[in-house]
Amino acid sequence: MTEGSGEPQGGAPVKQAPEAVAPAQLRVQRATLSSRIGLAVGVAVVVVLALGPLWALDSVLRTLISFLTLLALAQMWNLLAGYAGLVSIGQQAYVGLGAYALLLFADTLGLPLLVSVLVAGVVGTLVALPTALLAFRLRGGYFAIGTWVIAEVYRLVITNVSQLGGGSGLTLRAASAFDRTTRLFLTYELALAVGVGAVAVTYLLLRRRLGLALTAVRDSEQSAQSLGVPVFRAKLVAYLVAAFGCSLAGAVIYLNLLRVQPEAAFSVNWTAFMIFIVLIGGVGTIEGPIIGTIVFFVLQETLSGYGAWYLVLLGAVAVLVTLLARRGLWGLVADRTGWSLFPVQRRLEER
Amino acid sequence: MPLLEVDRLASFYGDFQALFDVTLAVDEGETVAVIGANGAGKSTLLRTVAGLQDRATGTVAFDGRPLDGVPTHRRLGLGIAMVPEGRRIFPSLTVEENLKVGVVRGRPGRWDLASVLELFGALADKRGRPGSLLSGGEQQMLAIGRALMANPRLLLLDEVSLGLAPLVVRRIYETLPEICGAGATVVVVEQDVGQALAGADRVYCLLEGRVALHGRPADLTREQITDAYFGLGGPGGSSLAPRSNP
Amino acid sequence: MTWVNVVTQGILLGGLYALFATGLSLMFGVMRLVNLAHGDLSIVAAFLALAIVDGTGLNPLWTLLVVVPAMAGLGYLLQRGLLNFALRGDDPLPPVLVTFGLSIILQNLLLEVFSADSQGLDAGRVENASVRLSDGLAVGWFPLLTLVTAVAVLTGLQLLLSRTQLGRSFRATSDDPEAASLVGLDHRHVFAMATAIALATVAVAGLFLGVRTTFTPSIGPTRLIFAFEAVIIGGLGSIWGTLAGGLVLGVAQALGAQFSPGWGVLAGHLVFLAVLAFRPTGLLGRKVPA
């Protein structure tokens, strides 16, 4: 300033500071009434589902397997896009990798099925590490296509390896060690574990510091970086977790379907479904993908007779939801009711 | 009728309110200075007049016509041109291209490529140089020249002295009389109070989003201005309650 | 001599890729939008040409006169009616999701209207005619035309950007959209003009593709991937980089295919990944793809 000295003139009274609330009287609270109810209901639902083989028809179990694995995939895509800001259209890479890893370890190497499924998840994660290092050099839309290209690379490499069945694929033979019913029950329980696990892991991850870091990154990467948030590490962890989840889900999906073909296993439709589910249900919420998967299944059942028009509708809904109802169905519900079944936000409350 | 009339203007950045109940008027041909400390809302005021603010209540009227709902890019055609804070010339365009790009919606008048380059002689040799390679002072001149190309009736200058050496600032202000002489009404936002008072017909002082003082520089005492600038109490000064920290 | 032949074929193929990449690069340059429906839009153009050919019996190359302006108009409307809304704010999700959704819509609409059958555009003798460059080296007339067209289009775009008011508007809006509005540029219109031009180039690309090879409603995404790889290999922010990228990709694919038929496309992918790993700015680029 060029004029004046900046010194306060005499006689100006100083205002009193407001009463401060002593720290001991405040606490950080996360759970809400709705979340406590939701938790109780959720546990009950999981228990009922776990007992599925006792009360459900085979066909119902098969539908649930599809539902649970798709839910897992959707939660993983949501973790990436809704929380880490990484819009990937290449998650099908891990679905395919999981399937082929299962084939490799269960059939070729003769490991027990359960172990093979787990190892499939690990394999996906291991491949995801160098993949992330490459893909993270791109941002935004280019990152999206980059992940797609990488998925294509995996598909092409596998298609060109005849030991893995080449273009026509292979059938999982290790599963025939069990009789049909046992295999169904086993696959179902695995699917339940993967589905519930995906929701649980996402929720637990986001409750920790990683969750805060990711939210900061999603909101503004530059600001987060300038505040010392380990942006790269947070994104990498999210990407690896998502790879693990998608690979596990892929292994279970093909444990159910039995026949693995590269075009189907690495199809971008997997990602298209993930995107649709998360968009409809609500990006950036954990409850969203659950609702989205339900809606997706209902739509699939009712519209499957209409051929390609069904997909046109999916695409149109995705576009409309993105532009008009950014927060999806769960967003609409949460806005009105304030419910939060999987609360990751923290509030200050007085004791 | 004043060329620019601002009535009870409130302006927001998202949820944050930067201007509260601002009323001012600028007559045609005047040079009005808006001064105030950092964060007082000076730039916000200009931005609102230019149409860049997402949310604002109250009225801004230009030549009697309210500017509600007129998008920024159309205001140039009406005769309002702003030289934004930080220059913001187009780095990948050359000096000449920077000047030419603004004539999409210009009005006829004295200023064209030749006369602007004559006004800012330092730029004339650098016609083909990309904007990114200019010095701060040259960029400021280019930014003003760019605004002039549209022959505005109202020229809004936001902090033209920011980050520039005093000599350069003086040289820029030396061109103001010629700009005004050609018929432009100028509203200049300035941190450099001395410079602002020297060239202005009237001055407004903003404090935390409100008008704390206004009048002709000759009628205002240094004490009054300081008070209004820093928001201090005292007789015959600011209209606001005393604060412990400006 | 075979290797020279292979490289030449690769260069000619690269011309087509450069043509595909131009529109993608322009849209990203002006408005930071990666249009995931880019490839599908080229196939829309091919089918449009097919419909006209079926209706009139004209040589497909004549349909350019109708298809290119039609696609340009479609591009303008698409941008103003849909894509501009996806670009509001800084959120990276909406543009990707909207264009991805659009891609799905277009593919399946084409599927319903035209079926999944392989189609082709028959340009007659032009397709198979060849030009003899030297002993043992003959190039197809049509691939040569494609390369020449790509160079012409890129040159035209370069001139547009550097000499015209529209080009200045593109560059100014790309530099600083807010400052651009202060000088009277309506970004909604500027963006829409960019998309119009991008779709015009993609229409030419789609048509040439349809003549060169068969097409179905679902090959759009692969076209997008090749265009994208060409842009990255060549480097962002550079028009001639787009040409260079296309040529490198074409040559890589041609060489890979010599090795084994299934390896052509894969070789291109590997070159792309190598560029990403060791030289992210691309061959001629000025910016990192961020």
Contacts B–C by Cβ distance under 8 A: 70
Inter-chain CB proximity A11 and B232 less than 8 Å: no
pLDDT at A20 (0 to 100):
57
Which tops the pLDDT comparison, A221 or C50? C50
- Percentage of chain A lying above the pLDDT 70 cut: 88
pLDDT at C70 (0 to 100):
96
pLDDT average, residue stretch A183-191: 89
pLDDT average, residue stretch A161-180: 79
For residue A91, the number of C-alpha atoms closer than 13 Å in the C-beta half-sphere is 34
pLDDT at A12 (0 to 100):
46
Work out the pLDDT band at A23, boundaries 50, 70, 90.
low
pLDDT average, residue stretch A174-183: 80
pLDDT at A225 (0 to 100):
78
Task: Tell how strand C137-140 and strand C130-134 pair up.
Answer: antiparallel
pLDDT tens by residue, C23-62: 999 999 999 899 999 999 999 999 999 999 988 888 888 8
Continuous segment of H or E residues that includes residue A319? helix A308-324
DSSP state of A276: H
For residue C1, give how far its alpha carbon lies from the nearest alpha carbon of chain B (Å): 45
- Using an 8 Å Cβ cutoff, are C283 and C244 in contact? yes
Task: Tell how strand C130-134 and strand B154-158 pair up.
Answer: unpaired
pLDDT at A211 (0 to 100):
76
Amino acid identity for residue A185 in this structure: F
pLDDT tens by residue, A52-95: 778 888 888 888 999 999 999 999 999 998 888 899 999 999 99
Chain A residues with a Cβ under 8 Å from any Cβ in chain C: 81, 85, 87, 89, 134, 137-142, 144-146, 148-150, 152-153, 156-157, 159-160, 268, 272, 275, 279, 283, 307-309, 311-312, 314-319, 322-323, 326
Which tops the pLDDT comparison, A197 or A209? A197
Which SS3 state, helix, strand or coil, does residue B67 take?
coil
pLDDT average, residue stretch B164-190: 86
DSSP secondary structure letters along B161-222: TTT--HHHHHHHHHTHHHHHHTT-EEEEEES-HHHHHHH-SEEEEEETTEEEEEE-GGGS-H
d(CA C50, CA B39): 62
Is C142 touching A (CB cutoff 8 A)?
Answer: no
d(CA B219, CA B221): 7
pLDDT at A163 (0 to 100):
77
- Residue of A138, A148, A326 with shortest CB distance to C289: A138
Chain A residues in contact with C111 by the CB 8 A cut-off are: 308
The answer, yes or no, to whether residue B236 has pLDDT greater than 70, is: no
Work out the pLDDT band at A25, boundaries 50, 70, 90.
low
pLDDT average, residue stretch C102-128: 86
The answer, yes or no, to whether residue A339 has pLDDT greater than 80, is: no
- Residue of B193, B226, B233 with shortest CB distance to A11: B233
For residue C143, the number of C-alpha atoms closer than 13 Å in the C-beta half-sphere is 17
- Percentage of chain B lying above the pLDDT 70 cut: 93
pLDDT at B112 (0 to 100):
85
- Residue of A87, A157, A312 with shortest CB distance to C92: A87
Which SS3 state, helix, strand or coil, does residue A334 take?
helix
pLDDT at A329 (0 to 100):
77
pLDDT at A251 (0 to 100):
94
pLDDT average, residue stretch A234-247: 94
- Residue of B193, B229, B232 with shortest CB distance to A9: B232
Residues 6+ apart with CB under 8 A from A108: none
- Using an 8 Å Cβ cutoff, are C180 and C190 in contact? yes
Task: Tell how strand B80-83 and strand B154-158 pair up.
Answer: parallel
pLDDT average, residue stretch C15-26: 94
The answer, yes or no, to whether residue B246 has pLDDT greater than 60, is: no
Chain A residues in contact with C33 by the CB 8 A cut-off are: 141
Domain residue ranges of chain A, discontinuous segments joined by +: 49-267, 269-337
- Using an 8 Å Cβ cutoff, are A341 and A288 in contact? no
pLDDT average, residue stretch A265-280: 91
pLDDT average, residue stretch B88-110: 84
pLDDT at A165 (0 to 100):
78
The CA-to-CA distance between both ends of chain B, in Å, stands at: 36
Chain B residues in contact with A15 by the CB 8 A cut-off are: 243-244
For residue A219, give how far its alpha carbon lies from the nearest alpha carbon of chain B (Å): 15
Inter-chain CB proximity A308 and C96 less than 8 Å: no
For residue A317, give how far its alpha carbon lies from the nearest alpha carbon of chain C (Å): 8
Query: Can you tell me the ipTM of this complex?
Result: 0.86
pLDDT average, residue stretch B107-129: 87
Mean pLDDT (chain B) is 86
The answer, yes or no, to whether residue A35 has pLDDT greater than 70, is: yes
d(CA A290, CA A277): 8
Q: What share of chain A is helix, strand, coil (3-state, %, to 5)?
A: 75, 5, 25
Inter-chain CB proximity C181 and B82 less than 8 Å: no
Residue of B nearest to C161 (CA): B93
pLDDT tens by residue, C199-249: 999 999 999 999 989 999 989 999 999 999 999 999 887 889 999 999 999
pLDDT at B40 (0 to 100):
86
Chain C residues in contact with A316 by the CB 8 A cut-off are: 101, 105
pLDDT average, residue stretch C56-69: 90
The answer, yes or no, to whether residue B231 has pLDDT greater than 90, is: no
- Percentage of chain C lying above the pLDDT 90 cut: 67
Is C131 touching B (CB cutoff 8 A)?
Answer: no
Inter-chain CB proximity B102 and C174 less than 8 Å: no
Is C276 touching A (CB cutoff 8 A)?
Answer: yes
Q: In sequence order, which ranges of chain B are alpha helices (DSSP H)?
A: 42-50, 72-78, 95-101, 113-119, 121-124, 136-148, 166-174, 176-181, 193-199, 222-230
For residue C30, give how far its alpha carbon lies from the nearest alpha carbon of chain B (Å): 12
Residue of C nearest to B101 (CA): C168
d(CA B217, CA B190): 14
pLDDT average, residue stretch B218-224: 86
- Using an 8 Å Cβ cutoff, are C108 and A311 in contact? yes
The answer, yes or no, to whether residue A2 has pLDDT greater than 50, is: no
d(CA B40, CA C212): 65
Residues 6+ apart with CB under 8 A from A308: C108, C109, C111, C112
pLDDT at B239 (0 to 100):
47
pLDDT at C290 (0 to 100):
45
Question: Across A324-338, B39-53, C35-49, C86-100, which has the greatest mean pLDDT?
Answer: C35-49
Residue of A nearest to B241 (CA): A12
The answer, yes or no, to whether residue B175 has pLDDT greater than 90, is: no
pLDDT at B234 (0 to 100):
47
pLDDT average, residue stretch B95-119: 83
Cα–Cα distances in angstroms (integers) from residue A311 to residues A67, A275, A299, B58, B125, in the given order: 18, 13, 11, 48, 60
pLDDT tens by residue, A105-156: 988 888 888 899 999 999 999 999 999 999 998 888 889 999 999 999 999 8
